[in-house]
Amino acid sequence: MGTRSVYVTKPRELIAGLLHAEPRFFSAAEIHRRLNEAHKVSLSTVYRTLEHLLERGEVAARSDDAGETTYKACEPAHHHHHAICTSCGRVEDVDCSAIEQLAESLRTVHGFALADHKMEFSGICSACR
């Protein structure tokens, strides 16, 4: 599959640059605010660019606690975890003791003090198979 050709524009370079500069999630408004400290890029362009990057798999998105969508640069579409059936929507509550190992790995490998974690699974539940 060939790479779909697109224009290289200043807004795109600026936005991708900002996202790649920090390994964290940014809201569209936050990106817009930051860019406009030194440049002029409309909020709608920020949204359209993010959508563009999302389609290309160059960024990951998630909604924060307030429900606002946030974006983060993310090379290959990487790993991101309730069991929700994609067919009927049924939710299976999953008990996950294996998380303890992940918590340990987080502390060891990332020096991250795990305070809480959230998991979400998607797939086909037993009733839909």
For DNA, the binding residues (CB under 7 A) are 5-12, 27-29, 40-45, 47-49, 51-52, 67-69
* 21: partner contacted, choices a copy of itself, DNA, none (Cβ within 5-8 A by kind): none
Give the bridge partners for 62, in sequence order: 70
Non-local CB neighbours of 29 within 8 Å, separated by 6+ positions: 43, 68
Q: How many CA atoms lie within 13 A of 77 on its CB side?
A: 7
Residue 20 · residue 60 · CB < 8 Å: no
Residue from 4, 17, 62, 71 that binds a copy of itself (CB under 8 A)?
Answer: 62
Q: How many CB atoms lie within 10 A of CB 88?
A: 11
Residue from 4, 23, 37, 38 that binds a copy of itself (CB under 8 A)?
Answer: 23
| CA pair distance 76, 9, nearest whole angstrom | 22
Interface positions, 110-129, toward a copy of itself (CB under 8 A): 110-126, 129
Nearer CB in complex with DNA: 44/87: 44
Give residues in contact with a copy of itself (CB under 8 A): 22-25, 62-63, 67, 69, 72, 74, 78-86, 89-96, 98-99, 101-102, 105-106, 109-126, 129
